[in-house]
Chain A
Amino acid sequence: MTYLGSIDGRGPKLLEREGATNRPAPRSFEPRHAGIAPASTTRKRRRLGPGPAIPFGLQIGPLVLVLIWVAGSGLSLIDPRVLPSPWAIASTFGELIADGRLQSNFLTSSVRALLGLGFGIAIGLLLAIASGLSRVGEALIDGPIQIKRAVPTLAMIPLLMLWLGIGETMKVTIITLGVIVPIYMHTHNALRAIDERYVELAETLRMSQRDFLLQVVLPGAVPGFLLGLRFAVTLCWVSLVVVEQINATSGLGYMIELARSYGQTQVIIVGLVVYAFLGLASDGIVRLLEKRLLSWRRTLAH
C-alpha cells in the first residue's frame, strides 16, 4: 500500500519514519548523503499528489466548454447549421417546456431509466457477489457477462422483441442488461482485488466466514461497486436513445428520434443538453455518495 497520497499533514507519521529523510527537498541541488537531512529542513516538501482540491473544480471543465460554444457562436465562428447557438437552443428549450413536451418526455424516460437502473444494480450486484466469492459462481456467471459485454445492444433488439414483445418490458430489460455489466465488472474486480494481507489478518483474528464477508470483503468491494455505479447511472440514460426508437410515443430518446426524421437539429441538441446535464448530475450524486461511504479511505483523491 502506498502512503504517498497522504502527504497532506493528515497521515504523515509512517512517511516520516519510513522515508521522508531520504527524499530530496524540492529544487535542492545540495549533494545528498544518506541519513543527513537536507540543508533547509524548514522548506516545504514538494507534494507528489495532485494537491488540494479546487473549489467547484469539477464544474470548471463543462463551463469552459459552454463558454467556447457561446464565444464561437457570438463571433460567428461556428456555422449555425453545424451547431446552433446557445440562445437558439435556449429558446427551443423554452418552447418545448411551454407546450409541456420536454417535461412529459422526461418523466416517461425517467421511469424507464430508473427502473432499468434499479433492476440492473440489484442483478449486477448479486451476480458479482456470487461470482466473486465462489468458484462455481464464477464458472457459471462470468462467461455470460463477458458475452453480454461483447454483444451490441442494438443488435440484440430483434431477439429481445421476439422474447419480450415491443412493450415496456422489452425497453426496461434492455436498460437493465446494459446496467448489469459495469456494476458486475467493477464489483467483481474489487472483490477479487482485496489484499491478501486482509485475508491473512482475518484468519489470524479467527474471524468467522460471516464476519469476514461483512467486515472485510463487502467494505473492500464498495469502491469498485461505486465506480461501476458511476458508469451505470450515465448508461441508463444514454440507453434511452436506443430503446425509445422502438414503438415509443414518448421519452427523450423518442423526442430526439422524431426530431431527426424532421431535421429539427435544435430539438436534438436540447435532448443532448438534457442528457449531458443528467449525466453530470447523476455522476455528481454518486461521487457524493462515494465521499460519504469511502471517508475511511486515504487516497490521492483526498
Chain B
Amino acid sequence: MIMPVASGNIAARAQEPAPLLATVPPGTKLVVGDPQTKVALQLSGLIDEIPFEIEWTNLSGGPQTSEAFRARALDVGSVAEIPSIFANWNDLPVRNIAYREREDPIGHPIYRFGIAPGVEVKTLADFRGKRIAFSPGQAQGALVLRALQAAGLAKTDVTLVELPSTGDAYPIALASHQVDVAPIGGVLIRRYLNQYGADGATVIEHGLRDDPSHLYAPQWVLDDPAKAAALAVYVEFWARATQWVNDNPEAWVEGYYVKDQGLNQEDGEYLVELTGKQIVPANWDEVVARHQKTIDLLATELGYEPYSAEQIFDRRFEPLGATALAAR
C-alpha cells in the first residue's frame, strides 16, 4: 500500500512562533467550525461578550473540517485527537490550540464496542478472528487499533473491514452482520441495544481513554498575528462554555439536544449522563505524551512516518483555557 508520508515542512514550522498579541486588532474576523460551543455560548449569553466578529459554520468531524481548512474557508475547528495527526501526514499543517478531557474517562467513555447479534464477544481478547469495522482517519479507527494493542492482538489476528463511520453506518453494519464488532458512540449505543438487544446484540466497554477533545487550526491562521490573538480569546470563551455546560445540564439538554439537534428529552439526558463532566487541564504534558503513543501506533500499523507530537501542539495557547476558568 502506498501511503503519503509527512514531508519536511513539519520540522520547518517547529521553530519558535511569535508571542500572542495582548489585544485583538480591530477588524479581525474568525470563521469557526464548533457548532456545540456556539450553542453553549448562545445559551449562556457569553456570545455577546466576544470582542470580535465570528462567522459560525456548521462543520464538525475531521474529514469535513480538514476539507474546509484546505478550501481556506475555515479558521478553527473542533475534533478529537486523530484528525490533526492525519492532517499533518496529508500535507495539511495544523496544530491543536485547546484541549479538554472527561473527568472520569474510563467511567464515561465516548465509544463502546457494539457486538453483532449472536456473536460471542465478552472481552477485547475475544476480538481474535472477528470482522471489525475500521475507519483509518477517524477516532473510531485509532480506538480499534488501541483496543487490539491492549488485548495483545496483531492486526493479522482479526479482519479489519474498512468502513467510514458516518451517520448510523456502524450500527446498521452490525445489525445486518456485515461486521462482528464496531465502535459506536453516543445515542447510537442506546438505539442499537433497544432495537437489536432482543436479537442478542450487546456492547462491551473497552476500558481505554477515548476522551480527548481539541480545537485545532491551520498553521497559516496561527501565523497571522491578528487571527492568533482572536483564537486566544476564543479558547478562553470555549473553556467558559465548557464549564457552563458542566454547570447547567438541564439547560444544555433543552437548548442543545432537544431544540438544536431534534432529539427527545430522554435521549438528551442520556447523552449528558454519558458525557459526565469535562475539564480543561492547565498542563498539556500528559496529553502530548498520549498523543505521541497514538502517532507511533498509527505510524506502525498504517505505514506512515512517525513524528514528534510536540509539533502539533501550539503551546502558546496551553495556559489560556484553565486561566480563564480560574479567573472567574
Contacts and interface: CB of A to CB of B under 8 A. Distances in A.
Contacts of A259: 262
Interface string A65-107: 0000000000000000100000000000000000001000000
B187 interface: yes
Contacts of B71: 158, 161-162, 165-166
A165 B167 CA distance: 24
A249 interface: yes
B63 to A, nearest CB: 10
Given A161-B67, A263-B171, A267-B262, A249 B58 contact: yes
A261 interface: yes
B46 interface: no
A162 B73 CA distance: 8
A14 interface: no
Contacts of B186: 262
Contact of A247 (B59, B175, B263): B59
Given A258-B261, A259-B262, A262-B188, A247 B267 contact: no
Contact of A246 (B64, B175, B261): B64
Contact of B73 (A166, A249, A257): A166
Contacts of B191: 262-263
Contacts of A161: 67-68, 71, 73
Contacts of A248: 58
Contacts of B90: none
Contact of A263 (B57, B59, B168): B168
B167 A166 contact: no
B198 to A, nearest CB: 10
A260 interface: yes
Contact of B70 (A162, A249, A258): A162
A173 to B, nearest CB: 14
A255 B175 CA distance: 24
Interface string B63-81: 0100110111110000000
A156 to B, nearest CB: 13
Nearest to B35: A249
A81 B187 contact: no
A247 B57 contact: yes
Given A162-B70, A166-B68, A247-B68, A262 B187 contact: yes
A165 to B, nearest CB: 5
B195 interface: yes
Contacts of A81: 175, 195-196
Nearest to B64: A246
A161 B63 CA distance: 14
B48 to A, nearest CB: 20
Interface in A262-292: 262-264, 267
A94 to B, nearest CB: 14
Contacts of A158: 67, 70-71
Residue of A166, A255, A258 most packed against chain B (CB within 10 A): A166
Interface string B165-180: 0111001000100000
A260 B167 contact: yes
Given A162-B70, A165-B71, A166-B57, A101 B171 contact: no
A166 B74 contact: yes
B5 to A, nearest CB: 22
A251 to B, nearest CB: 11
A267 to B, nearest CB: 7
A264 B264 CA distance: 11
A112 to B, nearest CB: 15
Nearest to B187: A262
21 contacts: A161-B71, A161-B73, A162-B70, A162-B71, A166-B74, A248-B58, A249-B35, A249-B58, A255-B262, A257-B167, A258-B261, A258-B262, A259-B262, A261-B166, A261-B168, A262-B168, A262-B186, A262-B187, A262-B262, A263-B188, A263-B192
Interface of A: 81, 101, 158, 161-162, 165-166, 246-249, 255, 257-264, 267
Given A248-B58, A258-B262, A264-B263, 17 more contacts: A81-B175, A161-B68, A162-B70, A165-B73, A166-B57, A246-B64, A247-B57, A249-B58, A259-B262, A261-B167, A262-B188, A262-B191, A262-B261, A262-B262, A263-B167, A263-B192, A264-B262
Complex A-B, nearest 9 residue pairs according to Cβ-Cβ distance, in ascending order: A260-B167, A161-B71, A263-B168, A263-B191, A166-B73, A249-B58, A162-B71, A247-B57, A165-B73
